[in-house]
Amino acid sequence: MSIAVLVLLGLVQGLCEFLPISSSGHLVLLSNIFGVEDSLFVSIILHVATLFSLVVVMRKEIFYCLRHPFSEMSMKIVISTIFTCIVAIVLMPFITASFEGIMLPVAFLASAVLLFLSQKMSNGKKELDIKRAGIIGLAQGLAIFPGLSRSGTTLATGLMTGAKREECAKFSFLISLPIILGSLLLEIIKISTHAEMISVNWLGLVFAFFIAFVVGVITINFMIKLTTKLNFKYFTFYLILIAIVSAIVLWY
């Protein structure tokens, strides 16, 4: 695996993680195109890079939750995470297989449909309460599958419940923290338990990590500033296009 390919994956992760177009889906597609081994491990490491991006940009909100573990925001994150974990545990037998990419085109299309529906159904006037946080957590559990955008799915679900756009965007970013950390922990346990050898260009992965981090910081700031103005139809069109491309690459 060349450094150039890993750098490309890092750039894609940084751009796509906080846009509603599925970073993991793009990583799986590119991994299939370039023949990247251990794509799940690479994906998790690059997700950690963008997690650091999130910590830097939203440090005030994160530190507030850490200092006030029983605050309303902290409780909403906990409830959402619990629902996400329940769905992930139920679907666990299918998750690893999904990173082979066979259902990627369908997942991209599902993301497009969700964004389209959220654009039509949202009114953005209600507070994001505990009940809505739980619903968003369920949606995040489904979005573990590559191609089904995590940020897009959680944001679209929040909007369809009537919650405010900017509040949905920030909450969508915050609830990714425990999930990414949990995924990394599971991968570390899996590698250490089964003594699996990771075949990866470590220098290239370091470069990819740094690029994903920097680009992630830029993308988060972009999304937070433009959330109230964004029209999801452009992302919908893109997802339909990438679904067609991935179908050609993976099915033919």
Task: For 14-33, write each residue's pLDDT tens digit.
Answer: 988 888 888 888 888 888 88
Q: What's the pLDDT at 204?
A: 84
Residue 188 and residue 149: Cα distance in Å, rounded? 24
Percent of the chain with pLDDT over 70: 90
**Ramachandran category for residue 2: left, alpha or beta (phi over 0 → left; psi -120 to 50 → alpha):** beta
Contact between 5 and 36 (Cβ < 8 Å): yes
Contact between 248 and 88 (Cβ < 8 Å): no
Looking up tokens 């085109």 gives: 105
> Who has greater pLDDT, 227 or 83?
83
> Who has greater pLDDT, 240 or 220?
240
Cα dist from 182 to 2, 168, 177, 179, 251, whole Å = 28, 22, 9, 5, 32
| Domain encompassing residue 170 | 3-251
Residue 163 and residue 141: Cα distance in Å, rounded? 19
Count structural domains, the chain.
Answer: 1
Average of per-residue pLDDT across 194-201? 64
Q: Given a cut of 70, is residue 199 above it in pLDDT? A: no
Q: Closest by alpha carbon to 140, among 70, 64, 79?
A: 79
Task: For 83-106, write each residue's pLDDT tens digit.
Answer: 999 998 888 877 777 777 788 999
Q: What's the pLDDT at 230?
A: 67
Residue 82 and residue 9: Cα distance in Å, rounded? 30
Q: Given a cut of 80, is residue 38 above it in pLDDT? A: no
Q: What's the pLDDT at 71?
A: 94
Q: What's the pLDDT at 60?
A: 93
Q: What's the pLDDT at 165?
A: 82
Of the CA atoms within 13 Å of residue 142, those in its CB half-sphere come to 16
If you average pLDDT over every residue of the chain, what do you get?
86
Percent of the chain with pLDDT over 90: 39
**Ramachandran category for residue 110: left, alpha or beta (phi over 0 → left; psi -120 to 50 → alpha):** alpha
Q: Given a cut of 80, is residue 35 above it in pLDDT? A: no
CA-based radius of gyration for the chain: 17
Average of per-residue pLDDT across 104-127? 86
Alpha helices (H) in the chain, listed in sequence order: 3-16, 23-34, 39-57, 59-67, 72-98, 104-121, 130-142, 150-160, 165-174, 176-194, 202-226, 233-251
Instruction: Count Cβ atoms within 10 A of the Cβ of residue 60 and give its class: 0-12 exposed, 13-18 middle, 19 or more buried.
Output: exposed
